C-alpha cells in the first residue's frame, strides 16, 4: 500500500468563521494534516510550545479573540521555530493597506477571499515546497499534483481537476440554494482543419480559444478546462439564458476574430455550445450530490453541444435540470 505523503505536512489554520473553516478543509485536507483553531489565543499556545507547522494560515479579523491575526502573526514570527515558516494572512476586504500591514507584520503572502480552489492550492503548494523540510517524496508528490491540475498544451485546468472543483461548487450551490451552469464548447471543423494545415496550426487554434475562454470566465467562482481534444468546458453561477447566449455569442465573435494563420479559409472554425443548468430549489432538505449527478449534468451539456452543431444561427442549446 502506497504511503500517504500528505501526512508529512502540517498546515495550521487560525479561522473563526465556520464556513471558511469548511472551505479550507475541503480544499486542503488532501495536501496535509490540518490543525484548526477558533481563536488566536489557542493558536498562540500551540506555537509557544514549538509544535509542528509547515505552513500557517491566519484570518486577519478574528472577532472572538482578544488579538487579531496581524498581532498573532507578529508574535509567531518572534518564536525561533517559525522564523522561516510560511505564514499566509487572508481577508475578504481586499484592502491594499491591509495587505501592506500583513506583510509588515511578517506574513509571507496575503490571500484575498474568495479565491478559486485551484489558485489557492497552487499558491499553498508553492509555499510548502519552497520551505519544505518534509521528505523529498512528499515534496515530489505535491509538485506532481500541481502538474496534474493543468492541461499541458493550453495551461487550462485539467479535466480531472475541473471535475473536483465542480463537485465542490455543486455542494456549495446545494447548500446555499443557487444554480450552477455547465457550458461545453466544441470547435467545429477542427479535426479537418488540423489534418489540412498540420498539428502546429491546429494547436495554435486550440491555444487561441483557450486564452479567449480564460479571459471570458475570470471571476473567482468560475473555472474553465480543456475537456478533450477540441472540446472545452466552463462552469459559472450565471444562469440567465439571455446572458448565457451573450456569453456564447461573444466567445464565437472573439474566436472568429482571432488571427490564426492558414493557407486558405475554406475550413472556417466556429463554436457550438451546449449548456446544462443545475437548479437547486428552495427546499430545506440538502440535495444528494454525487458522481451520478455530475455524470448527468455532463451528459446533458454534451448532448446539447452536439445538437447545437446542426442548428442554424447562434449554435447554442441549453437545458435546466431541477435538483
pLDDT tens-digit series, residues 79-122: 999 998 999 998 876 566 777 788 889 998 888 776 777 778 87
Is the pLDDT at 186 greater than 60? The verdict is yes
Are 5-148 and 159-322 equal in CATH topology? no
Q: What residues contact residue 214 under an 8 Å CB cut-off, 6+ apart?
A: 156, 224
Residue 285: what pLDDT? Answer: 66
First to last CA, the chain: 38
Domain extents in the chain: 5-148, 159-322
Which CATH superfamily is 159-322 part of? Reverse transcriptase/Diguanylate cyclase domain (3.30.70.270)
Q: What residues contact residue 222 under an 8 Å CB cut-off, 6+ apart?
A: 116, 234, 235, 236, 237
d(CA 264, CA 63): 64
d(CA 228, CA 158): 9
Query: Poorest-confidence range of 22-26, 117-121, 177-181?
Result: 117-121
Residue 263: what pLDDT? Answer: 57
pLDDT in tens, 199-214: 888 898 899 889 888 8
Options 1.10.287.3510, 3.40.50.2300, 1.10.3720.10, 1.20.272.10; which CATH number does 5-148 get?
3.40.50.2300
More confident residue, 120 or 57: 57
Confidence of residue 4 (pLDDT cuts 50, 70, 90): very low
Amino acid at each position: 500500500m502506497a504511503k500517504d505523503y500528505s501526512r508529512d505536512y502540517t498546515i495550521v489554520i487560525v479561522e473563526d468563521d465556520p464556513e471558511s473553516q469548511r472551505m479550507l478543509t475541503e480544499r486542503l485536507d488532501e495536501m496535509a494534516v490540518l490543525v484548526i483553531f477558533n481563536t488566536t489565543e489557542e493558536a498562540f499556545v500551540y506555537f509557544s510550545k514549538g509544535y509542528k507547522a509547515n505552513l500557517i494560515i491566519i484570518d486577519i479579523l478574528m472577532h472572538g479573540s482578544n488579538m487579531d491575526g496581524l498581532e498573532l502573526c507578529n508574535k509567531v514570527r518572534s518564536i525561533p521555530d517559525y522564523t522561516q515558516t510560511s505564514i499566509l494572512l487572508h481577508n475578504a476586504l481586499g484592502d491594499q493597506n491591509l495587505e501592506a500591514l500583513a506583510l509588515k507584520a511578517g506574513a509571507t503572502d496575503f490571500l484575498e477571499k474568495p479565491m478559486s480552489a485551484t489558485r489557492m492550492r497552487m499558491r499553498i503548494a508553492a509555499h510548502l515546497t519552497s520551505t519544505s523540510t518534509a521528505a523529498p517524496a512528499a515534496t515530489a508528490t505535491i509538485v506532481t499534483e500541481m502538474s496534474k491540475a493543468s492541461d499541458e498544451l493550453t495551461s487550462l485546468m485539467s479535466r480531472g481537476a475541473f471535475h473536483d472543483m465542480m463537485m465542490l461548487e455543486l455542494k456549495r450551490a446545494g447548500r446555499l440554494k443557487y444554480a450552477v451552469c455547465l457550458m461545453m464548447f466544441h470547435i467545429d471543423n477542427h479535426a479537418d482543419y488540423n489534418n489540412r494545415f498540420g498539428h502546429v496550426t491546429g494547436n495554435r487554434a486550440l491555444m487561441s480559444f483557450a486564452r479567449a475562454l480564460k479571459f471570458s470566465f475570470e471571476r473567482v467562482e468560475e473555472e474553465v478546462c480543456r475537456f478533450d481534444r477540441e472540446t472545452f468546458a466552463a462552469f459559472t453561477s450565471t444562469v440567465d439564458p439571455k446572458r448565457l447566449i451573450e456569453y456564447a455569442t461573444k466567445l464565437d465573435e472573439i474566436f472568429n476574430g482571432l488571427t490564426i494563420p492558414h493557407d486558405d479559409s475554406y475550413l472556417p472554425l466556429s463554436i457550438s455550445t451546449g449548456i446544462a443548468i443545475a437548479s437547486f430549489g428552495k427546499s430545506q432538505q440538502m440535495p444528494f450530490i454525487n458522481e451520478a449527478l455530475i455524470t448527468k449534468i455532463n451528459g446533458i451539456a454534451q448532448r446539447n453541444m452536439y445538437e447545437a452543431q446542426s442548428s442554424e444561427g447562434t449554435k447554442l442549446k441549453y437545458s435546466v435540470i431541477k435538483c
